[in-house]
Amino acid sequence: MKKSIYIFKDGQLKRESNTLCLITEEGKRFLPIEDISEVHILGEMDLNKRLLEFLAEKEVILHFYNHYGYYTGTYYPRQHLNSGFMIVKQVEHYTDPVRRLELARSFVTGAYKNIRQVLVYYERREKQVGATIAHIDDLGSALESTSTIEQLMAVEGNIRDAYYGSFDTIIGDPDFPFVERSKRPPGNELNALISFGNSLMYTTTLSEIYRTHLDPRIGFLHASNFRRFSLQLDVAEIFKPIIVDRVIFTLLGKHMLKKTDFEKHLNGMALTQKGRTTFIKEFEQKMLTTLKHRDLGREVTYRRLVRMELYKLEKHLMGERKYEPFVARW
């Protein structure tokens, strides 16, 4: 499988000898283009149009993050997989309120069930999260009766609040208290981790969308305004608890991150470059972890599971098979 490349250093990225060439203080490094599916740029980087044309030809997408590691945008080259049929189906499901709600509910239901799986895992390890599970089950039971996207988002918000409320119990490290969910910018270390991890989940999902016939501008839960990518937000909801949050619990549980891996800026908190490197390493390792897919009869990585989730969505849109979100079994 093709790789995701992360560039932390400052320098220049260009096309040379028909491949990618990264020039930094340390010198030149060639990155074989045929092995790359996407590039994440976290450092300061000079690039030119010749490079962008080359990336478009090779169907490689670029994700950019700012100085603090917050996602700033994506260079999404001309869509190479085109199916007018699929776009029409996607739009039909977006414009029809009933069909849109049904899909949006599936994404929230998937997120809820995976959140629940994470909590159940810790309950078995004798963390006091039983009350939280009961509470989110209570909230989750309201999902079926929601009749608008707004109600759905409200339920989702409440489930997530209750879930985040249990983070202190799960992590149990006074150095990394949850306090409250804060974004743009995150107010403390744990929030910085959640935000950074979620950005990685969104960009990875967007990269996978690029390999399908779906249009990333048309989301179902997250309102589409046809300007900004939103479909990846929907699909990532399902995977955030079982990928991002589990990576965070591992990093903190094994003390792989320390207070010194964060830095304060303006009013917020962000990971240092070293902290980001540690996080990404663990995240990538998680994405490459394999599990046996029953119907397919093959081992698949989590990353491939994201792609297959998109395939399931395509099949739903085609009218072939109702979409059922992926729910972890452990």
Interface contacts to another protein, rule CB under 8 A: 1-2, 37, 59, 80-86, 211, 213, 293, 295-298, 300, 304, 307-309, 311-312, 314-315, 318-320
Q: Phi and psi dihedrals of 46, rounded to 5?
A: -95, 130
And the tokens for 303?
Answer: 């990353």
Angstrom distance (rounded) from CA 204 to CA 232: 9
Query: To the nearest whole angstrom, how small is the minimum distance from the Cβ of residue 23 to another protein?
Result: 28
And the tokens for 292?
Answer: 């046996």
118 versus 231: smaller Cβ distance to another protein = 231
256 versus 308: smaller Cβ distance to another protein = 308
Query: To the nearest whole angstrom, how small is the minimum distance from the Cβ of residue 5 to another protein?
Result: 16
Smallest Cα–Cα separation from 237: which of 101, 94, 111? 111
28 versus 321: smaller Cβ distance to another protein = 321
Query: To the nearest whole angstrom, how small is the minimum distance from the Cβ of residue 3 to another protein?
Result: 12
Query: To the nearest whole angstrom, how small is the minimum distance from the Cβ of residue 93 to another protein?
Result: 15
63 versus 303: smaller Cβ distance to another protein = 303
Q: Phi and psi dihedrals of 13, rounded to 5?
A: -115, 125
Query: To the nearest whole angstrom, how small is the minimum distance from the Cβ of residue 53 to another protein?
Result: 19
Query: To the nearest whole angstrom, how small is the minimum distance from the Cβ of residue 252 to another protein?
Result: 33
26 versus 295: smaller Cβ distance to another protein = 295
Query: Would the CA dihedral through 320, 205, 236, 150 be positive or negative?
Result: negative
The length of the chain in residues reads 330
Q: 279 in helix, strand or coil?
A: helix
Q: Phi and psi dihedrals of 74, rounded to 5?
A: -135, 135
4 versus 37: smaller Cβ distance to another protein = 37
Smallest Cα–Cα separation from 229: which of 207, 245, 198? 207
Residue 89 near residue 220 (C-beta atoms within 8 A): no
